[in-house]
Structure 1
Amino acid sequence: MSMTLRVIVHDSDIRKVVIEETPADADALKQVLQKKLQLAYPFNIQYEDPFFNNALCNISDINDLPERATVKIIPLDTSPSSSQADTIILSGSDTSEQLSAERQIVWPDEFEIPKFSVNVEYRLRQGNLAFMKDGTTADVGRDIKHDILEGLAGAIYTFRAYPSDEDFTQVAAALIKTHPCLTEQGSTSGFAGWKNSLKFKMANYRSKMRKSGCSDVAIGEKRGAMKATKHQGIKKPRRSELNFLPNFPNGEDEESQKRTRIELVEEMKRRPLNMSLIGQKMDSTFALRRKEIVHSEPLVSDILEKWPALFLESQIFAEFNRISGRNLRSEFYTALDTHSARLIEIFKKRGGNQGKKLDEILQQVFSKSSDVTVVRTAVLQGLPVLLGDESEDFFRMCFDVDVEADFSGVDVGLLTVFCEDMPARCPNDLNVDAKRAIILEGKVVMDDVPTLPHAVCLLFALIYALNLDYPKTMSNTFEFVQRVMLSLGGKNLKPKLQTLKNQLFS
C-alpha cells in the first residue's frame, strides 16, 4: 500500500511525500525519506501521535503511523570531539550514510565555523573573554588544536574534498573572526599558521576518507605514485563541482546500478518517453555514470550509446544540477541579461581589428534591438573576440541538407544550420530563424536547438556532464562564463579575464 506523509524538514520547509509502497520498518522509512528529500545528514524521525494530542514521539513500529501521518526530521549532531573524531570518520553505518549522500550545498560566501566539543567550546569562550578584556591570546595546546582542525576539516569536506588556497584563507580568517583569541601575534594576517595547519589536516582527512571508501578522494593518489598522463593521474574537481564522484547509494553497488542502466536504455526506445521514470533512473544511476565518465574517460559516442538519456535537454540540465547543485538554465540567462548592456558598451569602445569584428556583430543588433535573443547572441559571439579567443573553428555553419557532413576535425563546436533557401552570410549571423547543433568529437550530438544562447548553455552543461576540457580556442570565453558570470570556481583570474571583469563591474 502507498503512504502519504506530511514531512517537516524544518519550520520553513514542510513537504508532502508520497511513498509508493509502505516501508518494512522505521529504518527503511528513514532510507526512503533520505533519498526522496535528498538529505545529506544523519537524522531520526518522529511523528505526531494522535493518542497524545499529536505530541511528537519516536517511531518504533511502522504500524504506529496514522494513515496520513505528519513526521518531523530530527537532525543528529555529528560534530566530532577530539577523542572521537577518528572513530566517527571510520565507523560503519553512520559513515556509509554520510559517504553515499550527495552534497547539496555549494561553498558559502561566508564560512560558518562549526561547533567543537564541549570542552573546546568552553576554553574558547574563556579565551575570547580574555582577548576582549586585555588582548591576551589563548595558549592552544596540542589536543585543542587537533580538535579545532579536525572539526574544520570535517566542515570543509561537506562542501568540497579539494579546497583551493582561497578557500583555506576564507576558513582561517573566519576562525579568528569567530574566535579572536586564536589570532596569531607573529602573523601579518593573524591566521597564516592556522591556514598552513589546516592544509595538512585536510590532506590527512582525505586519507582517512579514502580508507573509508569515499569515491571522490579514492582516485586522488599522491603525485609521486604515478606518472601523470592524459588518461592517468590525479582526478579531482576542476570547475567547482559539488558532486564530482559520489559514492553508490545505500543498498546499491555497481552491479545493481548497471542493471538499472540497461533498463534505462530500454526505456529510451519506447514512445512516448516516460520522462518521470527516466528522471528517476537517471537520478539513481548518477554514481555509476560519474564513475564511468571520470575513471574511464570514454568517447562521447560510447557515452551516447550507453547513456542516451544524458543527451535529452531536460537531463542535461538535471545532470548539471546533480554535479554542481546549480540551476544552470536560470542562472545563465539571468547573468547574460544582467551584463549584456554593459558588455555591449565595452564592445563599442574597442578599436583596431577587434573593434571592426565587434562592430560587424553590433550592426546586426542595432537593426533588431528589440529582440532579446539577438542581443544575447551578439554578446556570446562578441566575448571570444574581446577575450582574444579564436572562434572561427568553434562557430561553424552549414545548410540543412549538409548537416550530415564530416565534422571529424571539430572536437567541440556549435553549428548554425540554415534552411537551403535562407540567405546565410557567416557563422556569426544573428539570424534567429536558423537552428543550432552541438558538435562533440566530430559528431553532432544534439540538433534542432532553437537559438545560439540556448546551444551555448546546453554545451556548457554537457562539458560538465561529460567531464570534458574546454575547447582550447575558446577557453577564455568558457572560463569567463564559469568564473565571472556564474561565479563557479576560484576568484584568481587570468589577466584578460580580470581586466574584463573590472570593466564589467566598474
Structure 2
Amino acid sequence: MAVQQRMLVRVIITEADIRKTMVDEMKKKTPNGALIKQKMDLTFALRRSEVVKDKPAITQICERWPALFTEQQVCLEFSRVVGKSLKQEFYEALDHHSPRLMEIFKTKRDLTGQVLADMMQQTKTLNVTEIRCLVLRGLPVILGDDPSTFFKACVDVDDEGLYNDIPVGILYHEQEYITPQKQSLHHNASSVGIILEGKIVMDAESLPQAVYIVFGLTYALHLNYPKYMKNSFDFFQQVLLKLGKTDLKPKLQTLKNQLAM
C-alpha cells in the first residue's frame, strides 16, 4: 500500500508540473501547439477529475487550464471525451439538414413565421456562412427556446451589464447600434465573444464557429445545457452528432421526422 501511495504522489506531482508548463507556455505570444496538445493529452485524467468532481468556477478553470479556451483544444477535448470530430461532424450534419430546415422555416405561420421570414430576408448571398447563421438562429425559434437570452448584441463590449448574469451565451460586438429588427443573424459582427458564467472566455470568428465551440465547451467543462436553449442543444447532441439517448422529446422527434421527408 505504501508503495502504491508513493507512486500516486509521483504521478500527481508529475501532472502538476506538466500543467504548470502548459500555463507558462500559454503566456507566450505564440504558444507551441504541438507541445500544448501533448501536455493536454497527458493531463486529461487530472483535468476531467477536476471539472467533473470538483466543479470549479469558470474563472478558476481559465487560470488552471488556459489552453482549454482555444478552438483547437475545445475540439480535441470533445474528441477525448466522446470520440467524435466536433467541427467536422457538426458542420457536415448542419449543412446536410440546412436545405430542409429552410423549407420548414417557410411553412411556419403567425409570430414564429414572421420572425423566420424576417431572418430569411436578411440572407441574400446564400453563402455557406450566412446559411449556417440563418439555420442556427432559426432553429431555437421553431423549437420553442428563448434565443434572446443566448444571443446578445452590443456596441461597447466592455458593458458587462449586458451579459454578467448569463451562464452560457454568445455576444456580438457591432460597430454601431443595430435595431432589434436587424439583429437576427449577426453574420457581419465585428467580433463574437463566448460567454460563460457572465464572463467572455473566448473569441470566435463567426456565429457558426461560436455555436459549435459553446457546445464543445459544455462537454469539456461538464456544464449543463442552458435552460433557455435546452431544445436546441439537445438537437445538436442527439440529431446532429447522434450522441446519447436515441429517444427524443416530442418537439425534437417531430422535427427529426420532418427532416426525413
TM-score normalised by the chain length of structure 1: 0.48
Counting only pairs closer than 5 Å after superposition, residues 75-474 of structure 1 correspond to structure 2 as 253-365=11-123, 367-369=124-126, 371-399=127-155, 401-406=156-161, 407-420=163-176, 424-426=178-180, 427-447=183-203, 449-474=204-229
| 3-state SS of 2:152 partner | strand
Contact between 1:434 and 1:451, CA under 8 Å: does it hold in 2?
no
Computing the radius of gyration from Cα coordinates, the structure with the larger value is 1
Contact between 1:337 and 1:376, CA under 8 Å: does it hold in 2?
yes
TM-score normalised by the chain length of structure 2: 0.92
Greater helix proportion: 2
Matched residue, 1:8: none
Distance in 2, matches of 1:278 and 1:357, equals 44
CA change 1:474–1:252 in 2 (3 A) is farther
What does the per-residue CA deviation read over 1:325-367, in whole Å, with 9 as the maximum and x for residues that have no partner?
11111001101110000000000001111111111111112x2
Task: Determine if the alignment matches structure 1 residue 487 to structure 2 residue 245.
Answer: no
| 3-state SS of 1:382 partner | helix
Q: How many residues align?
A: 251
> 1:280 is aligned with what amino acid?
Q
Distance in 2, matches of 1:425 and 1:254, equals 53
> 1:317 is aligned with what amino acid?
C
Distance in 2, matches of 1:374 and 1:500, equals 22
Shift, 1:418, TM fit:
0.9
> 2:216 is aligned with what amino acid?
A
Q: Percent identity?
A: 46
| 3-state SS of 2:185 partner | coil
Instruction: Could you tell me which runs of 5 or more consecutive residues in structure 2 were left unpaired when the two chains were aligned.
Output: 1-7
| 3-state SS of 1:393 partner | helix
Contact between 2:187 and 2:207, CA under 8 Å: does it hold in 1?
no
| 3-state SS of 1:397 partner | strand
Distance in 2, matches of 1:498 and 1:396, equals 29
Contact between 2:191 and 2:205, CA under 8 Å: does it hold in 1?
yes
Bigger relative contact order, structure 1 or 2, given CA contacts below 8 A and separation 6+? 2
Distance in 1, matches of 2:122 and 2:29, equals 41
Distance in 1, matches of 2:212 and 2:222, equals 15
> 2:235 is aligned with what amino acid?
F
Shift, 1:431, TM fit:
3.4
Instruction: Could you tell me which runs of 5 or more consecutive residues in structure 1 were left unpaired when the two chains were aligned.
Output: 1-249
